[in-house]
């Protein structure tokens, strides 16, 4: 194909980020937008200069021009829409989490294999240049042998009992919220940099507000967690901790992690994405910036600006989508992105966290 033709389902905040990211990638074009309200879809399409708009997915698929569809809808709609898109023989890029349960995600993995399609999930943090650099340094043993990892993902947008979002309702967001919404990013990133799967978890979930005032001003019962603490164990036996919260005052989008090795430690903060802290025992600690002359391996490819011109969230977002598109254009090449097999494993981790919280035990993934 000379140009990838793309359709977007759901053009809210995250869908608009997809559109803007796609437009930074050569030889791509967003040709269709789908919203549940056809009039809204047309308004958004006109805003972005997109040729076609639709009020339902069936009509968009029937148009027959699409190489890839991006599913940017709420979590409860992922399974059915993903199945419909894949059944139509169209490549798929989905927002996380992949589905609400691992049973649903397993069915989608089987469907992909039978159709021979490419399908990815938008875990964008692994595509940040400094995260790539950390993976490179772990792989080449620059920090020695890794013995521990920990991650935090802290936000405060649901701190008050009057804060509300569709994710709070289990019908739309699922039985787990903080773990599936932001903890899934932690799981994907840590697995990616270490090159190992998480094989067991022990989790404790917390609900700060047992009831919240919804958008109609009525207090409703909350059943999915505001925060969680998750112990994790990897294939090799390395252990770590993941802490997630959507009720931590002052924390806006504070995803950070540290990897501890026998020679050095590496620490990265998403809110300062162009910097990497390197901890040393016998000499001064250092901090490097995202510049090709400081980086190694794949990380160099993610840098197209000079030192001091910060690469950040939107850049990693674009890198992830571009990697997925490159896998479509070069189907036999090994190109990094979170595929449905990996996303299915993350769904199994999430399910194991729920079971662990209920039983108080370590649960194998």
Say if residue 220 is preceded by a cis peptide, omega within 30 of 0: no
Q: In sequence order, which residues have a C-beta less than 8 Å from that of residue 56 and are 6 or more positions away?
A: 34, 36
**pTM for this structure?**
0.93
pLDDT tens, position by position, 265-322 = 999 999 999 899 999 999 999 998 877 777 777 676 666 666 666 667 888 899 999 9
Closest CA to 347 of 168, 17, 8, 107: 107
Pair of tokens at residue 329: 């254009």
Residue 333: predicted pLDDT? 84
Considering the chain, what is the average pLDDT of its residues? 93
Q: Which domains does the chain have, with CATH numbers?
A: 4-123 (3.40.50.720), 125-310+318-364 (3.30.360.10)
Tell me what pLDDT residue 302 has. Answer: 67
The whole-angstrom separation of Cα 28 and Cα 64 is: 16
Quickly tell me which residue has 């620490």 as its tokens.
267
Please list the residues that pair with 268 across neighbouring strands. 257
For residue range 322-339, what is the model confidence (pLDDT) as tens digits? Answer: 999 999 998 888 888 999
By the 8 A CB rule, do 214 and 172 touch? no
Residue 1 confidence (pLDDT)? 63
Residue 344 reports pLDDT greater than 70: yes
Residue 3 has pLDDT above 80, yes or no: yes
List, as one string, the DSSP characters of 2-65.
-SEEEEEE--SHHHHHHHHHHTTSTTEEEEEEE-SSHHHHHHHHHHHT-SEEESSHHHHHHT--
For residue 26, is pLDDT > 70?
yes
For position 294, what pLDDT does the model report?
72
pLDDT at 310: 66
């Amino acid at each position: 194909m000379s140009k990838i033709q793309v359709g977007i389902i759901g053009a809210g905040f995250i869908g608009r980020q997809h559109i803007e990211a796609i437009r930074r990638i050569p030889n791509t074009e967003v040709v269709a937008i789908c919203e549940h309200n056809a009039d809204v879809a047309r308004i958004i399409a006109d805003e972005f200069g997109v040729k076609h708009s639709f009020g339902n997915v069936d009509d968009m698929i029937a148009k027959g021009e699409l190489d890839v569809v991006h599913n940017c809808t709420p979590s409860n709609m992922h399974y059915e829409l993903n199945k419909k898109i894949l059944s139509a023989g169209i490549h798929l890029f989905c927002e996380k989490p992949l589905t609400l349960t691992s049973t649903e995600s397993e069915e989608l993995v089987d469907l992909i294999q039978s159709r021979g399609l490419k399908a990815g999930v938008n875990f964008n943090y692994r595509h940040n240049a400094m995260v790539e650099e950390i993976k490179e340094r772990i792989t080449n043993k620059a920090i020695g042998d890794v013995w521990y990892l920990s991650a935090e993902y802290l936000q405060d947008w649901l701190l008050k009992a009057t804060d509300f979002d569709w994710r709070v309702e289990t019908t739309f967001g699922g039985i787990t919220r903080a773990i599936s919404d932001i903890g899934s990013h932690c799981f994907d990133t840590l697995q990616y940099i270490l090159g190992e799967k998480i094989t067991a978890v022990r989790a404790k979930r917390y609900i700060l507000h047992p009831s919240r005032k919804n958008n109609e001003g009525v207090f409703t019962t909350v059943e999915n967690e505001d925060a969680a603490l998750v112990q994790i164990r990897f294939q090799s036996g390395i252990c770590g901790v993941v802490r997630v919260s959507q009720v931590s005052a002052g924390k806006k989008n504070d995803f950070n992690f540290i990897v501890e090795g026998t020679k050095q430690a590496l620490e990265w903060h998403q809110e300062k994405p162009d910097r990497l802290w390197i901890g040393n025992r016998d000499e001064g600690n250092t901090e490097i910036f995202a510049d090709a002359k400081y980086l190694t391996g794949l990380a160099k490819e993610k840098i197209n600006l000079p030192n001091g011109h910060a690469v950040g969230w939107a850049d990693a977002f674009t890198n992830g989508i571009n990697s997925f598109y490159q896998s479509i254009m070069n189907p036999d090449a090994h190109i990094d992105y979170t595929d449905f097999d990996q996303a299915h494993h993350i769904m199994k981790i999430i399910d194991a966290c729920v079971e662990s919280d209920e039983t108080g035990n370590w649960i194998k993934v």
